[in-house]
Structure 1
Amino acid sequence: MLDTVFRAPRVITTVGESARSIGIRDGRIVAIEPLDAGLEAGRVIELGEDVVLMPGLVDTHVHINEPGRTEWEGFASATRAAAAGGVTTLIDMPLNSIPPTTTVEGLEIKRKAASGAVYVDTGFWGGAVPGNLEELRPLHDAGVFGFKCFLLHSGVDEFQPLASAELEQYLGVLQDFGALMIVHAENSQSIDRAPAPEGERYRRFLASRPRGAENMAIAEVIEAARYTRARVHILHLSSSDALPMLASAKRDGVLVTVETCPHYLSFTSEAIPDGATQFKCCPPIRESANRELLWEGLREGVIDCVVTDHSPCTPELKRFDIGDFGVAWGGISSVQLGLRAVWSQARTHGFSLTDVSEWMSARTANLAGLSRKGRIALGYDADLCVFAPDEAAVVAASDLEHRHPITPYDGMALAGVVRETWLAGEPLDLDAPPRGRLLRRGDV
């Protein structure tokens, strides 16, 4: 006897969208049959043709900031927002918490803060910073999913960047035990030489983070990965100029993958009002022509996946009082809206919901080595999203589940509505106690 059966005219499986019956037992998918197969269960869910049953999203780039900066966000609020947006698994970044996740002790402090507070399954990246080379293997053995480094100042003093020689040294160590390095790739010297970003004008802020800073840093990462044969992942790509060299590196066999974010695929610099610091992020949102080339990068497979880079802060830190891009904190709050934002643009660019699921569920799960996540397939966790792709709704920041009502999507009409999110074969109830698990690399 199955616990639950979904009978759905529209299901996204590994072979695309089709009508299927999905059988669930003990939190796992154990049957995928034709719609009329007659599967029986204690609970049968009949879905209509207006919704798609798709894998829950796997968001591998989320800043939760707890402990130490819990007033910015927190495990409970961030994972509630994730669940409301169809995300069933997320991986937390090693900053901006205090302490950062750069030691096993820091990891355990973070796990203690998260225990009993997460609505969705939650894992952790480790940090690679100057002086913690000897911590990498212990963190790996303790279950982090890989390591994040910066090539310029991170914005917080407790998470310092790696110099070029250190990057190569650290990659050499990680290659020894097959760990992944994820990289914030902007060249600090290029940014130091660029115009200062002070003031309300978005164009001045954009000029302060030139494409060349990204391009130079990405080239450095590619060559370091080529030499060490380590696995590297480029975070939040915003410069389309880097796509040809990334494509070339992949053809050469360099072990490099690439992500971009909903805000780079949705917004354009020309449309950002001066003083609208809710749009500030680093690297920045660029021109409309750049955005279209990022979509082509997804079409051609140079960009592997899409993640939110949810990076919230308090309203005061966004400096809405003066609208100064030079002093406002950079980060986009979007973990609840990623699926809807990407689908709104994807459908106008000729992509299907199957494509979106591949970018935001299957490939992100692959990136982190989550071998039972991100797909509706036999043996996989029954983490599911019931999504109405043809509905539309206007975003109201005040209605979102994350801690502060700040997002550049406020007031936008987005396509698609998340009707339900299921975790391990049960619907997520945000009024009930959290039941997400804390994940360790190798456990899933």
Structure 2
Amino acid sequence: MWLHIDVRHAFELEHAVEEELTIKPFGDHSRTYYDVGDAKEFWKWIEDGLLPTVVTHEDAIGNTLPREEWRYFVEYNRVIGGIRIYQKRSEKRECHYKKVKQFYDACHPVHALDKSSFGYPDCSSEEFQDALDDRDLEHNLAVWRTGCFEMWVDLLDTDDVVGARLDYLKERRFVDKQTKSVTIELLLLNAQTDPLLCRAFLELKFDRVGRITPLEDIETVPVDPYHSDLELKVFKVFSSKAQYGDSDEWSKDREDVAHFESRVGVAITDMFLLRRVSVMSLYLLISRLFEVAWDGIPGYESVSTTLEVAKGRLLFFGGVIFGCLVLVFAGGGMLAFGQQLHEFHTYSNSIVSTLIVITTGDADLYEKQHIVDPFLANRHCSHARRSAATALDDRADERGKFLPARDRVDDEEEEEDEEEAGEHRRRARVPPPGTVV
């Protein structure tokens, strides 16, 4: 089945697409997608980095390609539909702290989406068509009721038309203070090996501290498994809710699901669920095999009984000792290093980093902490590991308590048997084994 034996091609395709989209230099050829820091660099990356990579009208030696070959990305991947660019915008509101109102403009909270048109004047579909000679550009610019604004770049358009679209968006302030995120979506079909549909997301999140966080997400779904009856039935079960559901929750999304991009997203979600179901089936099978082995092999019976008796204490140890230990040291790590290191800048990140310190003693992480504060770095790492080791030693000293009553009785019976054997040898005046007469 594809889900288990043919993931290599998907892995290679996803990494090839990711590298081509994110590592392409722009500007002075020293910056990449991950270096985009403001709106000006965003447009520069679109013009010099993204479009020359995806919109290719010439081959490697400069010859003009036939028009039917313009939609190929990295030679072998056919682009479906074009480049989809959409953004989410936050509302413009009065700042919560009113004392700064006299010298500070409005605030733009990211949790509230703005559904009005962007820029000034309003960027409407009709105005966009007029700006490009009344060409039929339906769906090239649309306003969603969810607060998303999308624009399409058709790869069959000439460079002049593509440039005119970008100029129009820049003039109408497509990216401004209210921008919450801008996402570039690309759909690819690769039929060189097993047919694969690949969806690439490049998302730029505009933080309200003045930073842009670039993210990427490359997902792949196989085309071939849907030819079999089993996968097709499973696919219909999951997708029917989204496409033909009667509830209000799903019916409002029918319009969006009608897009091919949304259908591919549904398929990717289905395959994600299928992989999880398959993996869980394997885990359950392995667990069942262990149960059969432990019940059928006498040597494993005492081990099983020991673990059964010790389960409560082990859970107590993991939940209380390690839980308190990690939570306390994670809080200390966030206070000490959270403003300087990404590994500790949130409580969840600090918990993960503290677990890494306790279990592995990561030297690289310790070096980063040492640069920020040598004293606190030494206290945080050494105390965390020492506390964990002490807790483990204390529990190890009580390991005799974990033995089941049956094993303790067996040990007592063995001692009694040895005493009786010794008493019998003394009475019979028989030297013990190993004694040289």
Name the structure where helix makes up a greater proportion of residues: 2
Q: TM-score, normalised on structure 1?
A: 0.24
Which structure has the bigger radius of gyration? 2
TM-score, normalised via structure 2 length: 0.24
Instruction: Name the structure, 1 or 2, with higher relative contact order (CA <8 Å, separation 6+).
Output: 1
